[in-house]
């Protein structure tokens, strides 16, 4: 497998992320913790029940599987309620994806990922699972691919239609598989698998939907990142440490394990992130403690520092490409 590191943090992206507070996300995390009554006593990926505690976020524990190194919550809402939340909850879509403020920025953020995938793709038919507001679908289509998006959030689909003029399939992947027998060259999950209660099922269905030598593209938060270490120090962790939404978090090991078990061979791993932004925000919050650190000088070197984190596989996002080796 080939390794790639780093993705430049642009000035406009840095400014937006430094200013973001994620208050609604924190509010939702506290509310959902009170109704997360379904105990999760086994690993979503390998099924093992042997695990150790990693951290606690909003009274919910994240556990690390001792077999495959996957990280998952010890209690959550039911599968039915998860589907209901993502498909019908307007607050979710409005505070995460479906807002006009980030319309152009979100497409700009996903573009480097698409350009990276182009290096490994041999076909033009692309299926994007969990398309949200359609930013990835829009960017993919502009790069000469024939693309179909899947998204169960009604509000996000309406947003995609209104502001991007994109029609997105409205049902879950399993239903799409039953209704569509077309073979795809590329299937992508950009920030999706960590939300799904049955990620292995999604990967196995994807294997069946892919053409011979097709590739799967997965972008997920990296639990073993600098951002995780920083967020665990805060009273209100956010981004990927939101247990009601991110019911699991991947390590490099569990990501490779899940793909291998689903009939894929990983061929490329790209590690990048915004750990330096999280670190910078934390230092600013505690600027009295870190008064001797020249914050402005650190800010100037934010990309150089991020490259170091990425090269150590400590960046907070992985994008992995795997080739289909099994299935029909």
Residues 233-244: tens digit of each pLDDT: 888 888 899 999
- In this predicted structure, what is the pLDDT of residue 221? 97
Q: Which pLDDT score is estimated for 134?
A: 93
- Predicted pLDDT of residue 13: 75
User: Of 125-129, 156-160, 283-287, 323-327, where does mean pLDDT reach its minimum?
Assistant: 283-287
**Per-residue DSSP letter, 266:** E
Instruction: Find how far residue 286's CA is from the centre of its chain.
Output: 28
- Which range is least confidently modeled, 3-17, 118-132, 182-196? 3-17
> Residue 219's pLDDT is what?
98
d(CA 322, CA 328): 16
Domains of the chain as residue ranges with CATH: 2-324 (3.40.50.150)
- Convert the pLDDT of each residue in 253-274 to its tens digit: 999 999 999 999 999 999 999 9
- Who's near 100: CB < 8 A, 6+ residues apart? 163
What is the pLDDT averaged over residues 147-154? 94
Residue 288: the pLDDT is: 55
Question: Is pLDDT of 222 > 80?
Answer: yes
295: tokens are: 């914050």
Do the beta carbons of residue 137 and residue 147 sit within 8 Å? yes
pLDDT of residue 146: 97
Reported as a pLDDT band with limits 50, 70 and 90, residue 155 is: confident
Q: Quickly state the pLDDT bin for 95 (edges 50, 70, 90).
A: very low
CA distances to 57, 77, 169, 244, 245 from 29, in Å: 9, 12, 28, 6, 8
- Report pLDDT digits (tens) over 156-187: 899 899 889 999 999 999 999 999 889 999 99
Can you tell me the distance from the alpha carbon of 249 to that of 62, in angstroms, rounded to the nearest whole number?
9
Cα separation, 232 vs 327, in Å, equals 41
**70 in Cβ contact with 43 (< 8 Å):** yes
């Amino acid at each position: 497998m080939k390794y790639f590191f780093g993705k430049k943090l642009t000035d406009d992206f840095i400014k937006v992320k430094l200013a973001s507070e994620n208050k609604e996300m924190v509010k939702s995390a506290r509310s959902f913790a009170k109704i997360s009554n379904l105990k999760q006593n086994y690993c979503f990926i390998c099924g093992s029940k042997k695990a150790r505690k990693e951290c606690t976020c909003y009274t919910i524990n994240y556990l690390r599987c001792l077999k495959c190194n996957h990280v998952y919550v010890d209690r959550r809402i039911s599968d039915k309620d998860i589907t209901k939340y993502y498909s019908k909850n307007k607050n979710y879509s409005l505070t995460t994806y479906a807002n006009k403020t980030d319309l152009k920025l979100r497409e700009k953020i996903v573009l480097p990922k698409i350009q990276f995938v182009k290096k490994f793709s041999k076909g033009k038919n692309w299926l994007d699972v969990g398309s949200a507001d359609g930013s990835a679908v829009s960017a993919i289509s502009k790069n000469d691919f024939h693309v179909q998006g899947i998204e169960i959030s009604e509000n996000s689909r309406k947003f995609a239609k209104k502001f991007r003029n994109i029609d997105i399939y409205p049902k879950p992947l399993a239903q799409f598989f039953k209704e569509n027998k077309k073979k795809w060259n590329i299937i992508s999950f950009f920030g999706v698998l960590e939300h799904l209660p049955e990620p292995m099922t999604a990967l196995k269905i994807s294997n069946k939907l892919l053409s011979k030598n097709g590739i799967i593209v997965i972008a997920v938060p990296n639990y073993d990142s600098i951002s995780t270490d920083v967020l665990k120090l805060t009273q209100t962790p956010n981004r990927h440490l939101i247990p009601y939404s991110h019911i699991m978090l991947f390590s490099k090991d569990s990501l490779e394990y899940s793909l291998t078990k689903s009939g894929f061979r990983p061929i490329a791993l790209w590690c990048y992130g915004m750990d330096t932004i999280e670190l910078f925000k934390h230092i600013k919050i505690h600027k009295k403690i870190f008064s001797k650190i020249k914050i402005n000088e650190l800010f100037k070197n934010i990309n150089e520092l991020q490259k170091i984190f990425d090269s150590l596989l400590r960046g907070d996002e992985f994008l992995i490409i795997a080739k289909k080796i099994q299935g029909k």
